[in-house]
Structure 1
Amino acid sequence: MPTPVVPYGADQTLFVVIDRLGKANEIRIERSDLEATIGELVAGCFNDPIKVISFNTLEHWTRDISTDVAGEIRARCDIDGVALPDYLSDFVQNHT
Structure 2
Amino acid sequence: MPRSPSIVPQQADHDTYLVLNDFGRLGRAWCETDEEGTDRKTLIRRLLDDQYSHPVRIVAFNTAEGWSRDVTKDIADELRRRMVEYDEVPRSVQEFVEGTVRH
Normalised-by-shorter TM-score class: 0.7 to 0.9
- Quote how far apart the aligned CAs of 1:48 are: 0.4
Larger fraction in strand: 1
1:22 aligns with 24
Question: CA 1:14 to 1:81, structure 2 compared with 1: closer, same or farther past 3 Å?
Answer: closer
2:75 aligns with 69
**Identity over aligned residues, as a percent?**
26
TM-score by length of 2: 0.77
Q: Alignment partner for residue 7 of structure 2, among 5, 14, 26?
A: 5
Partner of 2:24: helix, strand, or coil?
A: coil
Does 2:97 correspond to 1:95? Answer: no
Question: CA 1:68 to 1:7, structure 2 compared with 1: closer, same or farther past 3 Å?
Answer: closer
How large is the RMSD of aligned CA atoms in angstroms? 1.9
Q: Deviations over 1:63-88 (max 9, x none)?
A: 1111111111111112x253543222
Question: CA 1:7 to 1:88, structure 2 compared with 1: closer, same or farther past 3 Å?
Answer: closer
For the residues of structure 2 that align with 1:81 and 1:60, how far apart are their CA atoms?
Answer: 36
TM-score by length of 1: 0.82
For the residues of structure 2 that align with 1:42 and 1:81, how far apart are their CA atoms?
Answer: 9
**Contact 1:19 / 1:47 at 8 angstroms: preserved in 2?**
yes
* Count of residues paired in the alignment: 95
